Amino acid sequence: GLRGLVNLGNSCYVNSIVQVLTHIPPLRDYFLAERHTCKLNETPETCFVCEISRIFQEFYSGNKSPLILKHLLVLVWANIEHMACNRQQDAHEFLMIMLNYLHEQSAPLKAAPTSTPSTSPLSPSSSPPPPLSSQEEGGGGGNNNSCSCIIDLIFTGKLQSDITCHVCNGVSTTIDPFWDISLELDNTSRGGRWGGGGGPDMTSSQLQNDASSQSSSSSSSSSGSSKSGLAAATAAAATAAIKTDGGGGEGGGGGGGGGSVSLDECLEQFTRAEHLGSIRCNNCDADQQQTKQLTVQKLPVVVCFHLKRFEAICENVFAKISKIITFPLELDMTPFMSHRRNGTTPTPTPTNAPDATSSYRNYCAQILEDNRYSLFAVVNHQGDNVGGGHYTAFIRQQYDEWFLCDDSKVTRANITDILNSEGYLLFYHKQILEYE
């Protein structure tokens, strides 16, 4: 699974994301078992999932020579107009768009052919784990995502937004899916309102939702056409996009504030109650002072934290925040869960798969309720400003073996290198998937 990737001209943003995807255990198991059945039967050469499946086969073939991702780049250029050039792009935006295409072109996972529970919750022989039920409190809505494709089973979580009236104490709850969580690095501002977005059921209008629209308890829209999903992913990522022109500037010393902050502090800020001022309360039928709080209602198997290192200081001008962000090798998300904040206990919804055994359902419930994570990948952006830069990725292959993937070069890295890096995207997977 260790293989360099040739830089085809400012394609390091592609290389860094592909390195991460190929080292996600359940995604690796899925593609190496060749579970993908192309939905584009007449033109499989236009299928992103077919191409990613081919890349997985190449990665784990034993060949150590650097791989050329020419066809993947051609697919990107053919389908994503603003990326159809030899200019550097935002790795976060590329990740969201890739997940969206993989989601749209992946077939739902079928139930296991036997009733024997698998040892891995998302292994090729297992049926999909059951989703947790959506909470609908205080008149709020929830959209229970029914997709069972491999992307949703691995990456989809749910954010809960509670708006509380100071007069009647009524709570308006909205639950939205997410594929990543975007975190502000400036502790004077409100943390990443809706995460990075990109979930299949989210729309760009929801990502930009202001307080007044949320007070009406609007639910997220159901998954629609492929174009609407891509638009949501692109609109979400564009708010923090890096539009860098070439250049391989090494080092991370840019502007945008010094000092340091921890990932826990960013998450605490993200889930901190926010005073909205006076907005309409449906229960009171009047404008009242209200407070909004975001929490995590359901955690995904793999969680991606997008550290918003680029902020707009004026039109088309971005400044880089080079603040040191400390992050742990092991992370417990329990303090940021909805049930922890509101004192409720989540109840797993049994799977509808006819051959799923009781022990398997219980095992899946245990996985979904386990809030402990292990770091397995970090994507870094190196460079002094948004006019030039370079992406690399730290990848963990075994429990204590880390490697720096810098395009075609793959070298060993130590823990100090990882923890002192200028992380842009942090990837954690549930500890139950830990390497033996």
CB 284 within 8 A of CB 294: no
CB 176 within 8 A of CB 194: yes
- Tokens 């204590």 appear where? 400
Read off the amino acid at residue 305.
Answer: F
Nearest Cα to Cα of residue 237 among 11, 18, 424, 49 = 424
One-letter-per-residue 3-state SS of 301-354:
CEEEEEECCEEEEECCEEEECCCEEECCCEEECHHHEHHHHHCCCCCECCCCCC
Nearest Cα to Cα of residue 264 among 310, 353, 189, 328 = 328
Residue 305's alpha-carbon distances to 22, 134, 171, 194, 330, in angstroms, are 18, 23, 28, 12, 14
End-to-end CA distance of the chain: 17
Residue 128 and residue 148: Cα distance in Å, rounded? 6
> Other C-beta atoms within 10 Å of 210: how many?
10
Q: Taken in order 143, 146, 152, 155, is the CA torsion positive or negative?
A: positive
DSSP letter at 108 equals: P
> Other C-beta atoms within 10 Å of 183: how many?
22
Read off the amino acid at residue 228.
Answer: S
CA R_g for the chain: 21
Residue 230's alpha-carbon distances to 9, 39, 199, in angstroms, are 25, 18, 10
The token duo for 431 is 């500890």
Residue 311 and residue 355: Cα distance in Å, rounded? 50
Catalytic residues: 12, 390
The number of residues in the chain equals 436
The token duo for 172 is 């308006």
Report phi then psi at 14, rounded to 5: -70, -45
DSSP letter at 1 equals: -
CB 352 within 8 A of CB 360: no
Classified as helix, coil or strand, 429 is strand
